[in-house]
Amino acid sequence: MQFQKAEFVASYGTFSQIPPCNSMEIAFAGRSNVGKSTLINKIFQRKSLARVSAVPGKTATINFYRLDPLTIVDLPGYGYAKVAKSEKERWSGLISGYLGADRDLRLILLLIDMRHAPSKDDLQMIDFLVESELPFLIVLTKADKLNKTERTKRMQAFETEIPYFSQIHVIPFSAVTREGVAEVQGVLEEIASE
Ligand code: GDP
């Protein structure tokens, strides 16, 4: 797959604006500042396909990209505390609206910062995905920020923090060392060839 050929399609601020599904979709989800824009840019070998923001909570839209035969869906980052309740409700409406819609959603990549325990929102998201029987994997971001000992500790902690962690496909990822880039690309390629 020529990942660098991914093209921006559109951004939507409300669920009702989202056009009907017309191809296989792959969604990226995670709390704001987890490194989602950075990961998308790495995977698609682009400097700024997804905007990387130093200010968390800016990605308040659902963004669609096209990489034939896939549609890549960048869900708004959740869990940012410093926004109004109405804004939070709009985001969660977008996320649950999209995930609950009858679309050809092949995989959700849920991003969690490897350094920290999953947030309440992360756990709620995992619960929702499991309950809805949606296919997902977990990408543990910013892996470069941990040394070997810290990493082993965090991986053990995830076993107790995340239900059924050992049964979930987990990909450690770092935009700095490029760990996990080829693995995520491989997953997308496999789906594209279905
Ligand atoms: P988003 O809000 O989830 O889209 O997060 P961003 O992609 O904007 O990243 C948030 C911050 O984390 C930025 O300062 C990034 O440079 C930093 N970041 C993202 N990925 C990595 C990574 O793999 N390693 C390190 N060290 N920093 C990262």
Instruction: Note the pLDDT of residue 92.
Output: 84
Instruction: Note the pLDDT of residue 169.
Output: 98
Task: Give the pLDDT mean for 138-166.
Answer: 97
Task: Give the pLDDT mean for 88-113.
Answer: 93
The pLDDT tens digits for 54-77 are 555 555 789 999 999 999 999 988
Nearest CA to ligand 1 atom 18: 35
Instruction: Note the pLDDT of residue 90.
Output: 81
The verdict on whether omega for the bond into residue 135 sits within 30 degrees of 0, i.e. cis, is no
In this prediction, residue 87 has a pLDDT band, given cuts at 50, 70 and 90, of confident
Beta-bridged to residue 24, according to DSSP, are 70
Residue 51 DSSP SS3: coil
Q: Rounded to an integer, what distance in angstroms lies between the CA atom of residue 48 and that of residue 131?
A: 34
Task: Give the pLDDT mean for 111-121.
Answer: 97
Global pTM reads 0.95
> What is the number of domains present in the chain?
1
174 within ligand 1 shell (Cβ under 6 A): yes
54 within ligand 1 shell (Cβ under 6 A): yes
In this prediction, residue 53 has a pLDDT band, given cuts at 50, 70 and 90, of low
77 within ligand 1 shell (Cβ under 6 A): yes
Nearest CA to ligand 1 atom 28: 142
Q: Indicate whether this complex's ipTM tops 0.90.
A: yes
- The DSSP secondary structure of 18-37, one letter per residue, reads SPPP-SEEEEEEEBTTSSHH
In this prediction, residue 83 has a pLDDT band, given cuts at 50, 70 and 90, of confident
Instruction: Note the pLDDT of residue 79.
Output: 83
Q: Assess contact for 75 and 96: CB atoms under 8 A.
A: no
| Domain membership of residue 138 as a residue range | 3-192
CATH assignment at residue 67: 3.40.50.300
179 within ligand 1 shell (Cβ under 6 A): no
Q: Is the per-residue pLDDT at 114 higher than 90?
A: yes
Q: Which of 191, 186, 180, 190 shows the shortest CA–CA distance to 38?
A: 180
